[in-house]
Every structure is written in structure tokens, then in C-alpha cells.
Amino acid sequence: MPRAWHVSPALGGGWTVTESRGTTVHLFDAQLRPVASVAVPLEQAPDSARAGGGLIVAGDEHDVAAVGLDGRVWWRNSWEAYAGRQTGGAAFDLDADGVLWVRLGWPAEIVLVDAATGAEFDRLPARLGDDDDEDDRPENSPEGGRLLTAETNGWLTVWDAADGALLARRHLADVPARPPYLDALDFLDLNRAVFVTDELVLVAVCPDELPGDAEDHLLLSAGGLRCRSLVRYPHLMRAGSVHSAPAPGRWLTQDDDVLRLWQLDGRLDDEPLPGQLALV
């Protein structure tokens, strides 16, 4: 897919993908099959998009707009109209009830917007964890039983989603059974972590020995954050390439203009896996 830029999950499974040099947003289903490509009436390339309920919502630094899957524009509004000031953009989410949750940085509050009309209908104070950076918010497991956060300083944390109980917390430097080559590195950056199943976490790390901005992917057990395997692909993965998938055992990678859907091959249990994972 030429000029693929930002990838975000879509309601009901699948992903939205924006372009780096245009205002077209693409929607793919959970099998990575094209569903729709629509032009969003924005002045700049959208840096975020969400899809659900038959529409795609996308925003740039100045405006936000909703477009139906048939290309019909439902509405367009400025971020300034919601914030009462210039904002330089805003982060947002779309829920299954057709509500757009717009997070404003200061004062810290959430604006609730009817996704079908663009009309604001309520405001809430932002709570701890309602960060405007989606990469800092907890990752949900496919079955919904666990939450995961990955901090840029190397800490990984897993909670029980039902009661908030802490299940595991480790620093990347202390992950048991991790590949020996990581111990000799002077620098190891934690880029992202996503659930593959409720029991498995895929962690993207950037070793300084890899060329450019390439990254490695480690598979960890969610219960104890023990390294299960190093995932080796047919080619290098660039930094920030991994995204969660709705189906257990799968994940999405974005490498330049190519989107790839990967799946674990074989039974998923808590026994040690070989150093090379079989991928299909």
C-alpha cells in the first residue's frame, strides 16, 4: 500500500490506515482485505483515524471529519470549536455506541461527540490514564481479560482487567530467558508491546546493533513476562512496525508500504518455544 502511515484498530476487527501524502483513509477487515478507501475533507494528511458504525473519522492538526464508507461526507468540524482555542490537533477514540471521545490537553478534559453528527453532548474531566498519546494507554488482550502497558524506560506491566490486580511487572533488562545477545548491548530501546493472545505478549525492541531503525520482536509469557522466543522474519522490521490484531495468535506489521498479517503456527501453551517461531 503506497504511502502507508498511521495504523489504528477499527471497531469489529480490522484496521484503518492513513497516507503520509494525502487525505485518503483505507479500511481493512480482520483478514487484511480491503473494505473501503475514502477521501476525507481535510487540509493535511490525517495523523489519526477510527472506523465503526459505517463511518470513518479522521483528523489532522486543525480539523476532524466523518465520512461514510460510500465516500459521503457526514460532517466536518475544527478542533478549535471543541476546545475553544487553537489546539494543534487532538487525540480521539470511537466506541461501539457511536460516541467520539476527544481528549483535550489543557484543561485536561474529554469531550463526548456524536460521531454521526459531530455535535458535542457532554464533557468529562480527564482521569489518570486518559493520556492524549494512544501508545501510553493500556493494551487490551484479545479475550479482554488482561491489560498491558509498555513504558519507554523499559518497564512492562500486566494487570487483570476485571479487578486491576497486578499480574506481572518486569524491566526489559530483567526478562528471564531473553536472547543472550541482548545482554551484551549497551542500549536497548522498548518501542511497543501488544498482546498476541491473553497468554502471550509481543514486545518490539530496538537493539543498537541493528542497522538504521530496525527492531526485533520478542514473544513473552503474559503471566510472568518470561521470554518464550525471538521472532525471526524473512527481512528486518523497522521501528514501530507491530500492531495488535483482533484474532488470537495474530499480529500486524507495517514495513514501509507493506502491511503483513502474521499468525503463530501450532498450539499455544506455556512450554518453552524454539528460538525460531514458525509463522504463516
The per-residue pLDDT for 266 is 60
Q: How confident is the model at residue 278 (pLDDT cuts 50, 70, 90)?
A: very low
Distances (CA, A) of 49 to 31, 183, 269: 19, 39, 35
Residue 156's pLDDT is 94
Residue in 274, 157, 272 with CA at minimum distance from that of residue 222: 157
Give the residue carrying C-alpha cell 499455544. Answer: 268
Maximum distance among all alpha carbons in the chain?
56
- Weakest-pLDDT range from 65-69, 118-122, 146-150, 256-260: 256-260
Q: Are 29 and 13 in contact (CB under 8 A)?
A: yes
Looking at residues 129-152, what average pLDDT do you find? Answer: 76
Mean pLDDT over 251-278 rounds to 69
Q: What is the pLDDT of residues 3-16, one digit of tens each?
A: 888 999 999 899 99
**Residues 12 and 247 sit within 8 Å (Cβ to Cβ):** no
The answer to whether residues 39 and 71 touch, using CB atoms and an 8 Å cutoff, is yes
Q: What's the whole-number mean pLDDT along residues 183-195?
A: 76
State the average pLDDT for the chain.
Answer: 85
pLDDT band at 267 (very low <50, low <70, confident <90, very high): low
Highest mean pLDDT among 80-84, 116-120, 153-157, 191-195: 116-120
Three-state DSSP state, 59: strand
Q: 243 and 215 in contact (C-beta within 8 Å)? A: no
The residue length of the chain stands at: 280
Domains and CATH numbers, the chain: 4-125 (2.40.128.630), 138-263 (2.130.10.10)
Task: Give residue-wise pLDDT tens across range 169-181.
Answer: 999 888 998 888 7
Query: 83: closest CA among 123, 129, 44?
Result: 123
Using alpha carbons, select from 24, 27, 23 the residue that is nearest to residue 8: 27
Alpha-carbon gap, residue 64 to 51, rounded angstroms: 13
35 pLDDT higher than 50: yes
**How high is the pLDDT of residue 280?**
40
Distance of alpha carbon 251 from alpha carbon 264, whole angstroms:
9
- pLDDT for residue 137 is more than 90: no
Give the pTM: 0.86
Least trusted range by pLDDT, from 68-77, 167-176, 185-194? 185-194
- Strand bridging mode 227-231 / 214-221: antiparallel
Residue in the structure block whose three cell numbers are 478542533? 79
Cross-strand bridge partners of residue 46: none
211-233: average pLDDT: 85
